[in-house]
Amino acid sequence: MINVIGLGYIGLPTALMMASHGVEVVGTDYNKELVATLNAGKTTFKEKGLDELFAEALKSGIKFTTEYQVTDTYIVSVPTPYDKFSKKVDACYVVAAVKSVMEVCPKGATVVVESTVSPGTIDKYVRPVIEENGFKIGEDINLVHAPERIIPGNMVYELLHNNRTIGADSKEIGEKIKNLYASFCQGEIVVTDIRTAEMTKVVENTFRAVNIAFANELAKICRHDNMDVYEIIKICNMHPRVNILQPGPGVGGHCISVDPWFLVGDYPSLAKVIDESMKTNDGMPDFVLNRIYEIMKEKGLTDLSRVGFYGLTYKENVDDMRESPTLQMLESMERHLSGNLVKVYDPFIEKDEVPNQMHSLDEFLDAVDLVVLLVGHNEIRENMDKLKGKVVLDTRHICDLDGVYRL
């Protein structure tokens, strides 16, 4: 039996995928309401293919509880936030989960940490917890790091098809856990040491963050001299060895916006390019706000309550708001204006999460004169004609109406 610890955006799909492929799984989470929802036969967030996967896992006998199980394999998939001042990983949730595992696990058990951590975190924080509980690593307890590599909006597909990395102290244990993931993973699974596994996951997201920062910096340069950054990127990407990503209103989610800071926090004197790249990305929400004020001045608009932000999530067609650029913009407005007057709408966010949030596209558009497209949900892509007559700032390069403003 596998005990998956943490049933959030990563742990739940992992547990469901294993269960639907013949592995006996019990999912554990401290959140009683979340566990109750799962036991009532309902998923806890929206994700393409998740409900179908959930139904298959239920047929296969998956169970959900708040209790840690006595078994031989644990997968820890809890959040790893970072301290916004020191930029270092906060491993408190991982440490707490491993401590709880130590209270029930038998000798010979394997603890797999799926949570993304900075290089050296397992050596610094996880190993001591195991040893403090009287276990000898490699004899009494086996330790593995198997970082997740999936993205909201395409989790089910990527769980099946993405390559994976297994970091272990011994080749034998690494191969054992590789076989576990191979029960469903059709991608290549590489076995290496733990610190390399830690580093590779963080580096993957850092590479993307730096590329996005380059695109965002290009957008600022092109705005300064009134050039079309999208046309420039399109032409440059015709070169066979160039692949510039698209600029945007900022970077959100719990990977690209967070993981690179782990390297900055651990290597402040070395990670200079990464540091500046992250500052560039973090500065984009304020850049967009300045564009809004410029456009309002140009168009003679003075009422912020007639400005509408389309999109609350950090990317299209998901309900994940973590670190979203829209939230960052609203927080900035709150600090500088002592209140948020703008209207906000997102078809994937059904509950009120921010002031002046609306829940109908038509009502939202009727209430605003300036629409800021912050997320490229399918809904707005399919209803571009409804934006006619509005002033539009398109931060995602999805609108081809005449007169549209861009970054």
b or e along 289-304 (b: 16 or more beta carbons within 10 Å of the residue's beta carbon)? Answer: bebbeebbeeeebeeb
Instruction: State how beta strands 343-345 and 405-406 pair.
Output: unpaired
Concerning whether 105 is annotated as a catalytic residue, the answer is no
Q: Is 139 helix (H, G, I), strand (E, B) or coil?
A: coil
H or E element at residue 288: helix 284-299
All residues at 6 or more sequence positions from 391 whose CB lies less than 8 Å from its CB, including other chains? 295, 299, 301, 369, 370, 371, 405
- What is the spatial distance between Cα 127 and Cα 319, in angstroms, rounded to a whole number? 35
Q: How many other CB atoms are there within 10 angstroms of residue 271's CB atom? A: 20
H or E element at residue 232: helix 229-236
The two structure tokens encoding residue 208: 């993307």
- What is the spatial distance between Cα 72 and Cα 109, in angstroms, rounded to a whole number? 4
All residues at 6 or more sequence positions from 207 whose CB lies less than 8 Å from its CB, including other chains? none
Q: Which of 264, 222, 274 is nearest to 247 (CA)?
A: 222
N- to C-terminal Cα separation, the chain: 51
Q: Cα dihedral sign for 106, 108, 110, 111?
A: positive
Q: Which of 63, 87, 178, 201 is catalytic?
A: 201
Maximum alpha-carbon separation in the chain: 72
Concerning whether 201 is annotated as a catalytic residue, the answer is yes
The two structure tokens encoding residue 376: 């490229």
- What is the spatial distance between Cα 278 and Cα 173, in angstroms, rounded to a whole number? 36
- What is the spatial distance between Cα 339 and Cα 350, in angstroms, rounded to a whole number? 22
- What is the spatial distance between Cα 216 and Cα 207, in angstroms, rounded to a whole number? 14
- What is the spatial distance between Cα 81 and Cα 340, in angstroms, rounded to a whole number? 26
Q: Which of 87, 255, 315, 399 is catalytic?
A: 255
Asked if 341 and 305 count as a contact pair (C-beta separation under 8 A), the reply is yes
Half-sphere exposure of 24 (CA within 13 A, CB side): 5
Active site residues: 201, 255
